[in-house]
Amino acid sequence: MLRRLATTAPLLLLTSCQGWQSALDTHGPAAQDLERLFWIFLAVLAAVWVLTNGAFLLSLRRRRPEGADPLATDPARERRMGWTVGIAVSLTFVVVLTFTGLSYSAQKQLFGHRDGILTIKVTGHQWWWQIDYEDPEPSRSFTTANEIRIPVGEPVLLKLESADVIHSFWVPSLTGKMDLITGRQNLLQIQADREGVYRGQCAEFCGWQHAHMGILILARPKPEFDAWREQQLKAAETPQDPERRRGEEIFLSKPCIMCHEVRGTPAGGKVGPDLTHVGSRRYIASGTLPTTRGSLAAWITDPQRIKPGVHMPLVPLEPDQVNPLASYLEGLK
């Protein structure tokens, strides 16, 4: 058992350093700066660790001879020790000073941001992310949830706010952490240098479902991003097939519309996530379940079972209403 653990543990450690949510598999300038800093710290601290342990082992080997006078002093040895301690103290000072300088310059990079770039407001809620794409022209602004699309290779400015308690935005492959604080706006510039999907996670304990507060960043080529943006600006299409049409009727007749918005319908609630294009998002419930008709049906039937404590109440549904409603939501592409 121990042997197996000894062979698999390093493998697990190595594989966990890669993937869509790793501070050691970076694809943006801010995260790369942090990664570099991490390796420098690790190398220097490892060297310090080896040196101090080496000195400790040496001291164990050098014993005083048996029966030696404990009060006897050797001036030459005392001088040597004085020098050794002096050098060690100055080295410590130099190391700490260098680390401080390196951290400071990395922070300057991390917290700097450019004006006039794509701006997205990210609002933390218990336990999901509201995403508002801002545009000087109000008709070109729109709202989505739990998924941020950005053009690859371009800086994007995030305005971080909170609707309730403190959350923390953390997408390790792209950037460092930044808190979302009530009554305050924090700015964070992110950039993805490579096309891909990056996962992030709320990194500040914010209540029961803190662990189920994931977020996805999808970095796409500019033309694809622009096309997606145009699509998101549109209102939801009126469903054509009878089942989805029935689903829409059920949706509009239930309290769902008090909390959720589906643009193009009378549903205009602002409490929960905007559902206008919910079917086009990869996950529901903030990274908890992949978007399928089945998971949507499970979620609307009993959200408390999947995410206990979630603010979405249980809306009573007849058994034959679940499928049409799930189909309707899934079709909101």
**Total residues binding ligand CUA (CB under 6 A):** 9
Q: Which two tokens stand for residue 225?
A: 């991003």
Q: Give the count of alpha carbons within 13 A of 125, CB side only.
A: 17
Rounded distance, CA 206 to CA 168, Å? 9
Residue type, 15: T
Rounded distance, CA 276 to CA 207, Å? 27
Q: Using CB under 6 A, which residues numbered 140 to 169 contact ligand CUA?
A: 167
Binding mask 208-237 for ligand CUA (x = CB under 6 A): --x--x------------------------
Binding mask 124-143 for ligand CUA (x = CB under 6 A): x--x----------------
If binding is defined by CB under 6 A, does position 199 make contact with ligand CUA?
A: no
Output 204 or 330, the one with its CB closest to ligand CUA.
Answer: 204
For residue 142, the surrounding DSSP H or E stretch is: strand 142-145
Output 210 or 229, the one with its CB closest to ligand CUA.
Answer: 210
Cα 260 to Cα 150, 267, 275, 324: the distances in Å are 24, 6, 6, 18
Residue type, 260: H
Output 113 or 210, the one with its CB closest to ligand CUA.
Answer: 210
If binding is defined by CB under 6 A, does position 204 make contact with ligand CUA?
A: yes
Which span sits near ligand CUA by CB under 6 A: 69-77, 93-101, 199-207, 254-262? Answer: 199-207
If binding is defined by CB under 6 A, does position 177 make contact with ligand CUA?
A: no
Q: Are 148 and 232 in contact (CB under 8 A)?
A: no
Give SS3 for 227. Answer: helix
Residues that bind ligand CUA (CB under 6 A): 124, 127, 167, 202, 204-206, 210, 213
